[in-house]
Amino acid sequence: MAFNPKHILGIKDLSAEDINFILDTAAGFKEINTREIKKVPTLRGKTIINLFFEASTRTRTSFEIAGKRLSADTVNISASGSSVVKGETLEDTAKNIEAMHPDIIVMRHSASGACDYLAERLDCSVVNAGDGMHEHPSQALLDAFTIREHKGSIAGLTVAIVGDITHSRVVRSNIYCLNKLGAKVRIAGPATMLPPGIERLGCTVHTRLEDAIRDANVVMMLRIQRERMGATLIPTVREYARYYGLNGNKLELAKSDAIVMHPGPINRGVELSTAIADGPQNVILDQVENGVAVRMALLYLVAGGEKLKTE
């Protein structure tokens, strides 16, 4: 089966076969990243624009590295360095960029649905690098890749996701992805950070961290997204850390071989104690490493995949 989507906008519309195809493609690319010469000619002649309207360390850097390792020409544009600060609209910005004939635009934006909006209006491919509180598909795929690497397969696992669920695009993409791959998903957070109806996406909902992580195979901790909070949703960060931060005692409730994940950036001492953030069960830097291979796979597949070899 070949999978060559025009765009990658979210996990919701992908099938389990599509997801496994992406993960298998990423597995093929991973080895390139440890070679002495980390470059293959696969996307030579392709132009990729990374259009980031929100801050990013991991996603922007790894999409850029992924493109460069596949020999594409990559250009980075941030909101602060673009004419957005002069009042240009998203559509005008994107249309002007498209006039320069890029093959792929990778975009992060604070508005949920911004990537779908662009995809409907542009001829080039659009890859969602995180849109508001909607989806972060490449994060969920690198998370699935990392779980599969550590656990062998995802079907039958119990994955607990804890933190600011309301504001998290990572949790939405992960619920879709993990359900499609056969995992059971539990989410936990303060009631003020649990959006009504989230269980309809395919998860059980808990207000106590302990209930979510008991016997879990994977514990995924999320950051409090202060930049997206309007009113204060927690009394104090200290109190949040006491009830929803992961430390050694709480992690003992999970399976003894449970892995601890976090999409980053970490607030040390808030959602993770330093002992856990640096401890033997954490796979956080594996997630970052795998992000490059997964993003190589996404760029390759939207650019045409196998068809590239015959062009």
How many Å apart are CA 120 and CA 129, to the nearest integer? 17
Report the residue from 263, 272, 273, 293 that binds ligand CP according to the rule CB under 6 A: 263
Catalytic residue, chosen from 60, 109, 136, 172, is: 136
* Cβ-based nearer residue to ligand CP, 47 or 61: 61
* Catalytic residue list contains 44: no
How many Å apart are CA 244 and CA 246, to the nearest integer? 6
**Residue 56 in contact with ligand CP, rule: CB under 6 A:** yes
Q: Which stretch binds ligand CP (CB under 6 A): 2-10, 55-63, 86-94, 97-105?
A: 55-63
* Catalytic residue list contains 58: yes
Closest distance of CB 72 from ligand CP, Å: 19
* Catalytic residue list contains 206: no
* Catalytic residue list contains 39: no
Report the residue from 25, 139, 281, 282 that binds ligand CP according to the rule CB under 6 A: 139
Consecutive H or E run containing 74:
strand 73-78
End-to-end C-alpha distance for the chain, whole angstroms: 20
Instruction: Using the Cα atoms of residue 251, residue 214, residue 161 and residue 164 in order, give the sign of their dihedral.
Output: negative
Using only C-alpha atoms, the chain has a radius of gyration, in whole angstroms, of 19
Q: Provide the 8-state DSSP code for 113.
A: T
Q: Which stretch binds ligand CP (CB under 6 A): 91-99, 184-192, 257-265, 302-310?
A: 257-265
Name beta bridge partners: 159: 185, 218
The distance between the two most distant Cα atoms of the chain, rounded to a whole number of Å, is 59
Site for ligand CP in 264-283 (CB under 6 A): 264-265
Report the residue from 58, 150, 184, 228 that binds ligand CP according to the rule CB under 6 A: 58
* Cβ-based nearer residue to ligand CP, 58 or 150: 58
Q: Which stretch binds ligand CP (CB under 6 A): 6-14, 50-58, 96-104, 235-243?
A: 50-58
Strand, coil or helix: what is 129?
strand
E strands of 90-207, at which residues?
104-109, 125-131, 158-162, 184-188, 204-206
- Cite the active site residues: 58-59, 86, 108, 136
- Binding residues for ligand CP, per CB under 6 A? 56-59, 130, 139, 263-265
